[in-house]
Amino acid sequence: MANIPTPHINAKAGDIAETVLMPGDPLRAKFIAETYLENAVCFNQVRNMLGYTGFYKGKKVSVMGSGMGIPSIGIYSFELFNFYEVQNIIRIGSAGALADNVKVRDIVIAMGASTNSNYANQFRTPGTLAPVADFGLLRKAVEAAESKKLSVVVGNILSSDTFYDDNTQANDLWKRMGVLAIEMESAALYLNAARAGKKALGIFTISDHIYTHEALSAEERQTSFTDMMEVALECATR
């Protein structure tokens, strides 16, 4: 294929599975590959954005970091969807809770991804486009979580361009509209999937709560999100 390798992914045709799990942290991708995948092979080390392909329950699955923020996942998901024939990307990551009924370590599945980003403007829709997940993937993820007897919350999340927001009222305004939690990537992933005619989903472990101030450490974020990882892997292989 003429478009590969890309400036950001040094993989050959066939190196990447049709379904890719995408944590933000490349070290989390390494952890998943080493913990869950059989015969895992590293297909990318460009900019240390590690990517691996292996087998989970006999099915070929890839996992690759996306980096932080909409511009970063926008690049990687675009190349995976459009140049490497990836059909499904399941984002797995941490999120900060807004809703009162969402607790630290809960799993949140993003049915929709509101955003304060201008990423959607490039698609020139004559109105506000709502980035949404693929329902088939969402249903599989909910079924996988329920089969593990996990408490899971499904709804709208916010993909924010700002981690440190100068608008001190922003969180309250999103919360009152029913937004469950904040992360920084899913809206771009959902938009790229829609434009490419592919499928995407975001699954999150709540790492901190914006209002109660409870939080997990960086090490806990890297190694203790196993329920979320296993739900995503089951979703990828159902």
Task: Count CB neighbours of 161 within 10 A.
Answer: 15
CB count within 10 Å of CB 42 equals 16
Dihedrals φ, ψ of 131, to 5°? -70, 125
Active site residue 208: yes
CA 217, CA 195: separation in Å to the nearest integer? 36
Q: How many residues comprise the chain?
A: 238
Set 25, 166, 208, 227: catalytic member: 208
Among residues 141, 134, 118, the alpha carbon closest in space to that of 188 is found at 118
DSSP code at position 123 = G
The answer to whether 4 touches 82, Cβ cutoff 8 Å, is: no
**Nearest partner of 94 among 237, 235, 215, judged by Cα:** 215
Burial of 167 (0-12, 13-18, 19+ CB in 10 A): exposed
Token pair 């809960």 is at which residue? Answer: 106
**Which residues are identified as catalytic?**
208
